[in-house]
Amino acid sequence: MSKYTREFLSTMTVDQYAMGACDRDNYCYRIEVEQAEMGNIRGTMAGVRRYGVWYNKKSNDYECTKKYGNDPQEAFFVVKTEILNLLDSGETDKYVAIQKNRLAPLFKYKLLAMYYPHKFLTIYSKDHLSYFCYKAGIPAVDGDDELVMQRKLLQWKETQAEAREMSLIKFSRYLYKQFDHPPKRVWASKTRPKLKELKDDLQDFDAKHPKKTLTEVERVQRSEKVAAYVKERAAGICELCGKLTPFYNKSGEPYLECHHIVWIARDGADEINNAVALCPNCHRKMHILDESSDVEILK
Ligand SMILES: [Zn+2]
Ligand SMILES: [Zn+2]
């Protein structure tokens, strides 16, 4: 890796850069594979597209993402400029410039960690960073990007006697050891046939003109007094799971729902000895599962 100095990069040609061109002797390949100990970005998401320009061995030609230009030469120039700018911004701690840098996030943050291992963590995935922030009890703000979350974790590191003296590479490993790997999310619909099937089904659905049906139902009048009493009795605590209500209503009262242990529909009595106050989750659970063990608890 040591040959890839700033000087080298500034005169680098597209075949020295692109994946698939000079077999393994190219910048992208070296970044992706040979620095695996710096955090693996292999086989994730965008694959080669993440590097903007690559060599397609089937068509024997360079290809590029439209994001950086109309042809591979143009795209390569933009990518190379962005890499050089990124290295400048990393060296001088220009965070806004780092955030605005147009390189793909995984590529961007791996480069920063490789060139400035004492400043940037070797954790690049947004999912992983937000998972570690959550586990470390760091308040997450919607819209925090990779850099912000890295900064927050570095601040947290200073407060941890155990981690304070660690190098950042060691600290990154420590997070995985301490909190384990974040659960995997599978978004890609191609690996989720069921999701794709459901989406295909939606094509026949006319969202602007949904079908309407009219049903006549007989409703039993329930006593509002019974409901009010059991909610007051529960004082905000669900009588099944024992947890505090998940939210308060607009008047600031704890939100719970009244449920009849023996359902009214099954001739249960509408009285306080047959009624409980439940959080919405538990209420739904009772109506979907109606497990006898839960009924016992409520009784
Ligand atoms: Zn509950
Ligand atoms: Zn109910």
Ligand closest to the CA atom of residue 262 = 2
Contact 222, 230 (CB under 8 A): no
Between 244 and 193, residue with greater pLDDT: 244
Predicted local confidence at residue 202, as pLDDT: 79
Which pLDDT tens digit goes with each residue over 273-293?
999 999 999 999 999 998 999
Residue in this structure with the two tokens 């599978």, named with its chain if needed: 186
Mean pLDDT of 178-197: 68
Distance 231 CA to ligand 2 centre (A): 13
Identify whether residues 241 and 286 lie together within a single domain. Answer: yes
Distance 297 CA to ligand 2 centre (A): 15
Predicted local confidence at residue 42, as pLDDT: 58
Identify whether residues 12 and 24 lie together within a single domain. Answer: yes
Identify whether residues 110 and 134 lie together within a single domain. Answer: no
Ligand closest to the CA atom of residue 239 = 1
Distance 240 CA to ligand 1 centre (A): 5
Ligand closest to the CA atom of residue 259 = 2
Contact 189, 198 (CB under 8 A): no
Identify whether residues 8 and 21 lie together within a single domain. Answer: yes
Distance 81 CA to ligand 2 centre (A): 63
Rounded to whole angstroms, how far apart are CA atoms 50 and 58? 19
Residue 256 pLDDT more than 60? yes
| Pair of tokens at residue 108 | 């961007």
Predicted local confidence at residue 277, as pLDDT: 96
Predicted local confidence at residue 43, as pLDDT: 52
Identify whether residues 275 and 178 lie together within a single domain. Answer: no
Structural domain harbouring 267: 224-298
How wide is the angle at C-alpha 106 spanned by C-alphas 126 and 55, nearest 5°?
Answer: 150
Distance 249 CA to ligand 2 centre (A): 19
Ligand closest to the CA atom of residue 257 = 2
Rounded to whole angstroms, how far apart are CA atoms 118 and 189? 38
Which pLDDT tens digit goes with each residue over 97-115?
999 999 999 899 999 999 9
Distance 135 CA to ligand 1 centre (A): 24
Give kind and range of the element (H or E) at residue 294. helix 292-298
Identify whether residues 111 and 142 lie together within a single domain. Answer: no
Identify whether residues 115 and 170 lie together within a single domain. Answer: no
Predicted local confidence at residue 59, as pLDDT: 87
Closest CA to 135 of 179, 94, 96: 179
Ligand closest to the CA atom of residue 258 = 2
Residue 45 pLDDT more than 90? no
Residue 111 inside a domain? The answer is yes
Identify whether residues 42 and 62 lie together within a single domain. Answer: yes
Residue 46 contacts by C-beta under 8 Å, 6 or more apart in sequence? 104
Predicted local confidence at residue 188, as pLDDT: 45
Ligand closest to the CA atom of residue 261 = 2
Identify whether residues 86 and 113 lie together within a single domain. Answer: yes
Q: How many domains does the chain have?
A: 3
Range in 147-151, 184-188, 206-210, 240-244 the model is least confident about: 184-188
Ligand closest to the CA atom of residue 279 = 1
Distance 282 CA to ligand 2 centre (A): 9
Residue 141 pLDDT more than 80? no
Distance 248 CA to ligand 1 centre (A): 14
Identify whether residues 6 and 98 lie together within a single domain. Answer: yes
Residue 196 inside a domain? The answer is no
Residue 234 contacts by C-beta under 8 Å, 6 or more apart in sequence? 256, 276, 277
Rounded to whole angstroms, how far apart are CA atoms 222 and 240? 21
Distance 275 CA to ligand 2 centre (A): 9
Which pLDDT tens digit goes with each residue over 53-64?
998 888 889 999
Ligand closest to the CA atom of residue 278 = 1
Ligand closest to the CA atom of residue 265 = 2
Distance 66 CA to ligand 1 centre (A): 51
Buried b (16+ CB within 10 A) or exposed e, 273-283: ebbbbbbeebb
Distance 136 CA to ligand 1 centre (A): 27
| Pair of tokens at residue 171 | 């600290």
Ligand closest to the CA atom of residue 242 = 1
Residue 265 pLDDT more than 60? yes
Predicted local confidence at residue 44, as pLDDT: 43
Ligand closest to the CA atom of residue 276 = 2
Distance 221 CA to ligand 2 centre (A): 14
Residue 64 inside a domain? The answer is yes
Residue 294 pLDDT more than 60? yes
